A and B are shown apart, each in its own frame.
Chain A
């Protein structure tokens, strides 16, 4: 299924999913969109759960921030009360869940887009009328993102391999030591970007305003069907004010 769906269709799907994710206030709708998104990404051959496993440490930090945010939301009816103090309200919980589902929707959108080859994704964006350079840079960015994540992990490991048990350090030292990861990762990213730019320039990138392509995409009936269903569902949700 993955190879036969046009990348423009996937971009459109992602646009619908992320638009609903952005404007919806209803946690149940956001939850449903998340589940639908996971199913769609699975049908297209994406590895949502594998990706979640790889970035789970980053997600813990993010969700920790969301929980702290919900604790500081004072409006609404109390849900968790400890010793007479309102810790979490229903509105705070609602917001926290909302943010969490929106983050997951962003990740799912990335997974759906990544099920097409970067060449086809670039071609799809170009055939939608956007400049090639924009499409190319986006695709290259997506390609290098997992490599950067690997670099973060490697460097975190390298710190521990110096015999430093990060979990046993006081919390402020832990934050400080984690900041050391950024130096090698940023250095590596800058280095890679420089080498890549020299390499593509050596291969005539941006030599002319136009360029040709050996790839050409054509929408099939499957694509039109998916676009129609996505559009109808999105409009229905908005029209029926379920969002």
Chain B
């Protein structure tokens, strides 16, 4: 039985008191070495769910929130947002708004530098992550000049150097071509095989072909996807 890394329990959310419920009674368990896929239409609440699972809601984004999120058994509400980044790495849709530097190595070093990790350990971690994702040849390249798939891999690598066990990908493949998607999927599979827990949120089911379980977010509820799109 794999360890449970992340749990969402009885989550309810709406933005304003008079607004309609975005999420209703969401329950989700993420185990180590597993990929969960979450699918849903635009406006179904996928990004809201991610922001609850990675702690941005309610700490940074206001709203009417009920429920609990546990990271390895600890209540996320008792951990500061910046320190949650040691546990959960989130990769968003547009790599161009996540890449800051003009060298891949600098990009990967940014997170652990923020956490005051020593230089030698950071360099070792960078080597490990590049090897894991088969990206050693990109170490000194300018990420802004890479292909879409390679850029997205750089962003994934930059959250992995934080030594996280949980990776959440928010529509990270929507701007990527077929070749890039294959590259990213292979990278994600390597993460799963190394014991990480991964949540992938997409609105295209083809992008979730590597998921172990797929759920659909519809009408505020999370249901297991049985194979028929409504």
Contact = CB atoms under 8 A, between A and B. Distances in A.
A adjacent to B, CB under 8 Å:
yes
B94 A204 contact: no
A212 B101 contact: no
A235 B23 CA distance: 67
Interface string B78-98: 001111011011101010011
Interface residues of B, number: 38
B115 A199 contact: no
B113 A202 contact: no
Contacts of A117: 101-103, 106
Contacts of B117: 212
B119 interface: yes
Contact of A195 (B83, B94, B101, B119): B94
A200 B101 contact: no
Contacts of A140: 100
Contacts of B162: 203-204
B65 to A, nearest CB: 18
B102 A204 contact: no
Contacts of A196: 97-98, 100
- Most chain B CB inside 10 Å of its own CB: which residue of A192, A195, A204: A204
B122 A214 contact: yes
B103 A119 contact: yes
Contacts of B106: 117, 119, 214-215
A195 B47 CA distance: 13
B114 A203 contact: yes
A204 B111 contact: yes
Given A198-B56, A214-B123, A206 B114 contact: yes
A117 B106 CA distance: 10
Contacts of B86: 204
B89 A202 contact: yes
A198 B47 CA distance: 13
A212 B122 contact: yes
Nearest to B97: A195
B153 to A, nearest CB: 16
A118 B111 contact: no
Contact of A212 (B56, B85, B98, B116): B116
Contacts of A195: 92, 94, 97-98
Interface of B: 54, 56, 60, 80-83, 85-86, 88-90, 92, 94, 97-98, 100-103, 105-106, 109-119, 122-123, 158-159, 162
Given A203-B159, A204-B111, A214-B105, 12 more contacts: A117-B103, A118-B102, A119-B102, A119-B106, A201-B60, A202-B88, A204-B86, A207-B83, A212-B122, A213-B113, A214-B113, A215-B106
22 contacts: A117-B101, A117-B102, A139-B100, A143-B100, A196-B97, A196-B100, A201-B81, A201-B82, A202-B89, A202-B159, A204-B111, A204-B162, A206-B114, A208-B82, A212-B112, A212-B113, A212-B117, A212-B122, A214-B105, A214-B106, A214-B109, A214-B119
